[in-house]
């Protein structure tokens, strides 16, 4: 994924895609955020990803501040490394939820959703929605994007 300097500069979507634009990065994050995986071998086994690609994705995610490389030691084992989510990493949960919700609706597998987002305490299903300032729910059609301070003036 070569970088196009112009597009990457100011748009937060383009910048986010530097790290989220790769399939395996997102699947690693799925395992980390949704299933609590932290270890190289776990990711490898769950995803079936090639180890060199996994090495690269983990390193990128660490560099992006999404994962943190942390040594650990289990009884009777030597020290090893695990990858734990940072605050920025956990903050991607809504992104995964949004992708997941879209996929469930518009790319159904025929088996029903593989993951359901629920409230931790009650187990009741939750959904993602746009809210106005007072916490009222908005129809997505009534939400528009307007240029902000970082928008390019010329284009």
Partner DNA sequence: CAGGCTGAGTTGGATTCTCCAACTCAGTTG
Partner DNA sequence: CAACTGAGTTGGAGAATCCAACTCAGCCTG
Which of positions 34-93 make contact with DNA (CB under 7 A)? 39-42, 48-53, 55-56, 58, 75-82
What does 76 bind: DNA, its own copies, none (CB cut-off 5 to 8 Å by kind)?
A: DNA
* Dist CA 1 CA 16 (whole Å): 13
Q: At what angle do helices 23-35 and 40-47 cross, to 10 degrees?
A: 110
**Contact track, DNA, 5-24, x by CB under 7 A:** -----------------xxx
Could you tell which of DNA, its own copies, none binds residue 58, using a CB distance below 5 to 8 A set by kind? DNA
Residue 84 contact partner, candidates DNA, its own copies, none, CB within 5 to 8 A by sort of partner? none
Write the binding mask 130 to 149 for DNA: x where contact by CB under 7 A, - elsewhere: --------------------
- The burial class, CB within 10 Å (0-12 / 13-18 / 19+), for 57 is buried
| 8 Å CB contact between 18 and 61 | no
19 CA to centre of own chain: 9
What is the rounded distance in angstroms from the CA atom of residue 36 to the CA atom of residue 32?
5
- Residue 25 CB, shortest distance to DNA, in Å, is 9
Residues that bind DNA (CB under 7 A): 1-2, 4, 22-24, 39-42, 48-53, 55-56, 58, 75-82
């Amino acid at each position: 994924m070569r970088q196009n300097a112009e597009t990457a500069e100011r748009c937060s979507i383009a910048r986010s895609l530097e790290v989220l634009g790769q399939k395996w990065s997102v699947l690693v994050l799925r395992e980390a955020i949704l299933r609590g995986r932290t270890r190289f071998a776990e990711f490898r086994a769950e995803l079936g990803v090639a180890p060199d690609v996994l090495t690269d994705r983990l390193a990128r995610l660490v560099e992006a501040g999404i994962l943190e490389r942390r040594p650990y030691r289990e009884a009777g084992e030597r020290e090893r490394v695990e990858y734990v989510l940072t605050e920025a990493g956990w903050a991607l949960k809504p992104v995964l939820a949004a992708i997941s919700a879209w996929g469930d609706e518009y790319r159904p597998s025929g088996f029903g959703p593989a993951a359901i987002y629920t409230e931790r305490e009650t187990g009741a299903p939750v959904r993602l929605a746009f809210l106005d300032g007072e916490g009222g729910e908005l129809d997505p059609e009534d939400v528009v994007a307007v240029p902000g301070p970082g928008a390019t003036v010329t284009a």
